[in-house]
């Protein structure tokens, strides 16, 4: 992957629809990739059949939703990552998305931070051997995820520095970070080497990217200009039952950004 491209989270955008319908629409929109959340609750054979028929790649999926901040869950988390690595090797993608769990009441934040770092250090060798990148996800706790531990991107980037593995980075969710902290462009630019994946949705509301206060064409242009090559997962719930037009518009943004980059290279 040597370009910056969109990917569609089919669990959100096509919630309740078949893999075939989702993949066909993504292909028709001119978007090259899909992603999804859990692999353990899906018919992966059917998913891959729809993916291949529509000439798509899988950009990312999640590891099991087990707490990293609670040291008592460490063994289960490590086992979940090991199982997820085997799945992504089958699917052909190399990005695993990991949430970190809710804040543990009665335990200091410092202790939970250290548990998170120690857990990531434990799985790092597995990821490195498999050439898989695990990306931890800060989420907003104001609207969507009250009680979640990791909210601010600065702590996420600090964790990456402490773990010190090229195979552990951050998924920078533009929607969540717009709610939590703003200052999107500078936070992205100054930490680009620590970002392995992006997510995007319109804010407020978590709907189409065209419906919200974030100027996504500009944000995506700046991400590409900063040298990022990888995917931005479109992770939202559409307000329109016919989502093809909005997806086609996003695909056109990326084509324009790539054309501008190619022009600068020549």
Contact 233, 35 (CB under 8 A): yes
**Active-site entry in 35, 208, 221, 235:** 235
Annotated active-site residue in 15, 128, 137, 213: 137
Told to judge if 221 belongs to the known catalytic residues of this protein, a careful annotator would answer: no
Among 189, 195, 253, 193, which Cα is nearest to 223's?
A: 189
Q: Is 137 a catalytic residue?
A: yes
Q: How many Cβ atoms from other residues are within 10 Å of residue 7's Cβ?
A: 29
**For residue 32, what are the CA distances in angstroms to 24, 138, 221?**
11, 26, 18
Q: Please give the span between the terminal C-alpha atoms of the chain, in angstroms, as a whole number.
A: 20
CB proximity list for 249: less than 8 A, separation 6 or greater: 210
Q: For residues 189 and 217, is the Cβ–Cβ distance under 8 A?
A: no
Mind telling me the catalytic residues? 137, 235
């Amino acid at each position: 992957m040597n370009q910056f491209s969109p990917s569609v989270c089919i669990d959100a955008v096509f919630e309740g629809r078949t893999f075939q319908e989702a993949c066909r629409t993504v292909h028709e929109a001119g978007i090259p990739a899909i992603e999804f959340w859990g692999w353990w609750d899906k018919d992966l054979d059917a998913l891959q059949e729809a993916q291949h028929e529509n000439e798509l790649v899988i950009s990312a999926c999640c590891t099991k939703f087990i707490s990293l901040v609670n040291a008592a869950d460490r063994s289960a988390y490590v086992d979940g990552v090991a199982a997820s690595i085997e799945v992504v090797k089958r699917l052909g993608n190399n990005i695993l998305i990991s949430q970190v769990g809710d804040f543990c009441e009665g335990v200091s934040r410092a202790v939970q931070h250290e548990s998170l770092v120690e857990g990531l250090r434990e799985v790092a060798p597995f990821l490195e051997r498999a050439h898989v990148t695990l990306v931890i996800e800060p989420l907003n706790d104001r609207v969507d995820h009250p009680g979640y531990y990791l909210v601010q991107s600065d702590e996420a980037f600090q964790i990456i520095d402490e773990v010190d593995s090229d195979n552990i980075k951050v998924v920078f969710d533009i929607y969540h970070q717009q709610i939590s902290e703003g200052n999107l462009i500078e936070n992205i630019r100054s930490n680009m080497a620590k970002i392995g994946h992006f997510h995007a949705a319109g804010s407020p509301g978590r709907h189409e990217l065209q419906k919200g206060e974030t100027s996504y064409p500009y944000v995506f242009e700046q991400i590409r200009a900063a040298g990022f090559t990888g995917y931005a997962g479109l992770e939202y719930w559409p307000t329109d039952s016919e989502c093809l037009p909005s997806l086609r518009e996003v695909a056109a943004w990326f084509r324009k950004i790539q054309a501008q980059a190619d022009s600068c290279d020549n």
